[in-house]
Amino acid sequence: MAHVMKSKSSTWTALGMLTALCLCFTEAQATVKPYIVDPSGFSDYNVIVNGNLNLNGSTINGNLGIIGGNLSSSNQDTINGSVGYTSNSFSINSSVKVAEGTSRDLSLNPETAAASGFSKTIGNFTATQILTGNYNNLTLTAGTGDLNVISLTNSSSNINGSVTLVGDARDVFYINVSSNLSINNVVLDGVDAKNVYWNILGGNVNLSGTLAGTILSYNSGQALNINNVTLEGNIYGNSLNMSNTTVNGVSLTEALENEAMAPEASSVYAVGIFGAFLAGSYLKHNLLRRRQGLREASQAA
């Protein structure tokens, strides 16, 4: 009988640990962040222009896509990647050096739609911080969650000068702008450039200096002018005029993969294993008490 009870105790302990581990795994899977909007639908290109692209002494380190427009240049310009286009009448100046060649790519049409939809989606997110005043040398610090939705939508609001984003590599910044924006420097303090999106929805935008993050301007209703900029990020928008600028493209899908599983997952596993141990010990203790009770009852009889 004692052997049977011991066997049952071991069985219950094992079942308890297995159940806890299964629950632990389920919990870890549940930590996938629901707010991460998938950018993979437009991630084949680091710069996509829906219209004409005018370059003047600029370099794009990444792939360039042009929809329905042409690529013109008034100086020596370099594309360290490939150039895709959609128009049968596409033309490119001989002064533009393309490292990996040019080709017609009709997949650019759905990629543009995906980028525009991405912009609209994050533009409708509830703001975690609303900026309503005039700001010089602004510092934005990540909140308690990993998602930070910054809203600059008041027509009388302005950001001028430098912007510093403070956080860590898990933090995502969606910055929705429909007011005036004039930035000459972006400093990332622990934040990854792959996780920063400047979503231009309107207003007057003037960008210069050293910047970081992906610029979305499809829904701004205007051409984007970028002069004397070094950008660690991507650009997706309407007609683009770029002078003396370097774009160092980033991998957006890599950022998505990094964000897919919350870092707390390992902690969840540790807690689950500890819980399994406690559950098994509890069940074993109760079975031993039951066996003792049966022995005492037998002796009393």
- Secondary structure (H, E, C), 147-206: EEEEEECCCCCEEEEEEEEECCCCCEEEEEECCEEEEEEEEEEECCHHHEEEEECCCCEE
Same domain, yes or no: 136 and 268: no
Q: How far is C-alpha 145 from the geometric centre of its chain's CA atoms?
A: 14
Residues 214, 267, single domain; the answer is: no
Q: Are residues 56 and 164 in the same domain?
A: yes
Closest by CA to 162, choosing from 183, 193, 134, is 183
pLDDT over threshold 90, residue 57? yes
Q: What is the pLDDT of residue 271?
A: 43
Q: Please give the tally of structural domains in the chain.
A: 2
Among all chains, which residue has been given the structure tokens 């806890």? Answer: 20
pLDDT at 37: 76
Give 117: exposed, middle or buried? Use CB within 10 Å, 0-12, 13-18, 19+. middle
Q: What pLDDT does residue 274 have?
A: 47
Sign of CA dihedral 77, 200, 234, 53: negative
Q: Are residues 246 and 268 in the same domain?
A: no
pLDDT in tens, 90-117: 999 888 999 999 999 999 999 999 999 9
Is pLDDT above 60 for 118? yes
Please report, rounded to a whole number, the percentage of residues in the chain having pLDDT higher than 90.
Answer: 50
**Domain co-membership, 87 together with 117:** yes
Residues 151 and 120 in one domain: yes
36 vs 70, residue with greater confidence: 70
Q: pTM for the full model?
A: 0.75
